[in-house]
Amino acid sequence: MASIENKINELREKLRKHNHDYYVLDNASISDYEFDVKLKELQELERKHPEYYAANSPTQRVGGEITKNFETIVHDHRMYSLDNSYSKEDLQDWETRIKKLVDGDIQYTCELKYDGASISLTYENGKLIKAVTRGDGFQGDNVTANIKTIKSVPLQLKGDYPNKFDIRGEIVLPFEGFDKMNEERVALGEEPYKNPRNTASGSLKLQDSGEVAKRPLECLLYNLTGNNLGVEFQYNSLDKARSWGFKVPRAAKLVDSIDGVFEFVNYWDVERHNLPFETDGIVVKVNNLHQQEELGYTSKAPRWAMAYKFKAEQVSTKLKSISYQVGRTGAITPVANLEPVELAGTVVKRASIHNADQIEKFDIRIDDYVFVEKGGEIIPKIIAVDFSRRTGDSGSTKYIEHCPECHTELIRKEGDAKHFCPNYNGCNPQIVGRIQHYISRKAMDIDSLGGETVLLLVNEGLINNYSDLYVLTKEQVIPLERMAEKSADNLINGIAQSINIPFERVLYALGIRYVGETVAKKLAKHYKNIDAIINASQEDLVNVDEIGVKIAESVKLFFSEEKNIGIIERLKGFGVQLQVSSEKLERLTSILEGDVIVVSGVFYEVSRNELKKLIEDNGGKVTSSISSKTSYIVAGDKMGPSKKEKAEKLGVLLISESKFLQKIT
């Protein structure tokens, strides 16, 4: 039997090598026929000897697994978005900002920005164990079965790979494969797919992995994530990833200055049109990973990276009418209804106009021909009017004065760009929008309850605010359109489970204007429970870290509404978490209350992120720049000389990692 096992392992290894040569290196080492013969031989041996089954065998790429519901998985390491820039001046401004925050010379790794579907692959002991979509950055969908069918994704790594790590990249559909798929669809009398990006993204959520296996998808990787990975530079990490078997395009370039970045931009602004797959810009990253750690993250993006977007495609089309949408906060957004036009691979029928000021600035009128582009190549927007085609009898656009839904007179406060409908509790889109926000993934995450179902529940009179969700019964929801018994069970169970969502996310879910995820976390951490926030004065609120007058006014206004207080009391009664959990409270202390602390250097006992969390959990504030207000610096290995010099000049104390840890224990 040992010889059978050896034969199986030998075939697997050969097929892995041939797969890598063909799909990663674009260098076939054997013919397709020879490959198929070896694959069939392996399939037959595995069929006769199931005791030697291996999840990462090359035979598992053929697909066939059916996934009806994609499991939601929390990312071990958050998948951040990137900040965008649209000019070389933007890039220069970014460089100026980061040079204030790190010591020494800065090198940059320039990479192409692939236009596909983001993916995070997790490997343990060299084996692919899961593949998760980006989702909201905090959690995504488990699409492992589908990803395993993509030939350029290694199922088993080679070389000196770490024990466990994530690698991020994009699933793309090359033009050649996309065109071939469309030729086949047209031949069958079916509608062709619109563009490679959307087709690649849609492929990841197909229920039958056998269908995914038929699509010529590729996986292009660009970022290693994890602890103790044995690399210190982004550019070197790309070489490492290649050596382990990943497909990492060789377009990346290491440069020593922002001028080198501009050269890369200029080259690819032209050459991108000759690439075999879609790109929409480049990504510039600080090359030194220690400097990346120093720079850290904003609430949405890494400070050490910047996307440069190539000039967006523009088209001209006719503006047929302007409609007005009401958001959950009552904000009114004018929307242009256009003659359908092809733009960046999709048919565009609507575009944002943002507000009344933009209508006036561009002098936008019905029946005008307007220029439209995709802002960041995602959301279409009007950028100008083609006055050469305007007819003489068109009149200026008069902005509406009453809500298009409830007909309440609109208001516009000084300093606000938008008009608002003040009918908070009687305007249907606001009611529906608030509940849809409450159930959203970043808030209460009731994924069994969709936006359309919320609309049905409101229109049927079953709910009028988000506290009404908790008294819904299965018998009430089953009669709803497209609601089966299983769906009704999932909906009621999902609502019940939402009472376990932590306080800071509940606070965000309430939908208080200007209270996003970051502000909600600040308020929850400072006040610990909802009653303390309700009773706080505006002056108290402004004294909370990063809470300004505008946010404080909005919070006070929200809790001054008797109906909102009534909803909060109901939520308490249903067991929704409106205070920091006792377990979390036990971890919080005020040892560092009032301390402003800078973290700088490389750390060994705990990670930089853990260090920052320890500071915040113990009442301190983490800041990135040294000033006279800095209490002290937790100084690790390789702290920059200019930071040390500045600390000495200002008389700021430096303490070691171990001394800091002793301080809080």
- The H or E element spanning position 566 is helix 562-573
Residues whose CB falls within 8 Å of the CB of residue 472, separated by 6 or more in sequence, listed in order: 457, 462, 463, 491, 492, 495
What letter does residue 591 receive in the DSSP assignment? T
The answer for residues whose C-beta is within 8 angstroms of residue 150's C-beta and 6 or more apart is: 61, 171, 212, 217, 218, 219
Q: Phi and psi of 455, rounded to 5°? A: -60, -45
Handedness of CA 287, 290, 295, 297 (dihedral sign): positive
Backbone angles phi, psi at 186, to 5 degrees: -65, -40
In which order are the strands placed within the sheet that holds 279-286? 84-85, 305-309, 279-286, 108-114, 253-255
Say how many C-beta atoms besides its own lie within 10 A of residue 268's C-beta: 23
Report, in angstroms and rounded to the nearest whole number, the Rg of the chain calculated over CA atoms.
28
Amino acid at 429: P
Q: What angle do CA 331, 135, 470 make, to 5 degrees?
A: 65
* Given 113, 309, 643, 644, the catalytic residue: 113
113 in catalytic set: yes
Report the distance separating Cα 499 and Cα 576, nearest Å.
Answer: 4
Give CA–CA dist 330/256, Å, rounded: 49
* Tokens 């996986």 belong to residue: 219
Give the DSSP letter string of 255-321: ESSHHHHHHHHHHHHHHGGGSSS-EEEEEEEESBHHHHHHH-B-SSSBTTEEEEEPPPPEEEEEEEE
Distance of CA 275 to the CA centre of its chain: 26
Q: What's the CA gap between 390 and 368, in Å, rounded? A: 6
Please give the structure tokens belonging to residue 655. Answer: 């303490």
Phi and psi at 389, nearest 5°, equal -110, 5
Q: For 9-53, what is the HEC assignment?
A: HHHHHHHHHHHHHHHHCCCCCCCHHHHHHHHHHHHHHHHHCHHHC
CB 589 within 8 A of CB 614: no
Distances (CA, A) of 92 to 85, 262, 269, 433, 524: 10, 10, 18, 39, 37
Question: Strands (DSSP E) along 327-461, which ranges?
Answer: 332-343, 346-352, 369-375, 379-385
Q: Count other Cβ atoms within 10 Å, centred on residue 146.
A: 29
Active site (catalytic) residues: 113
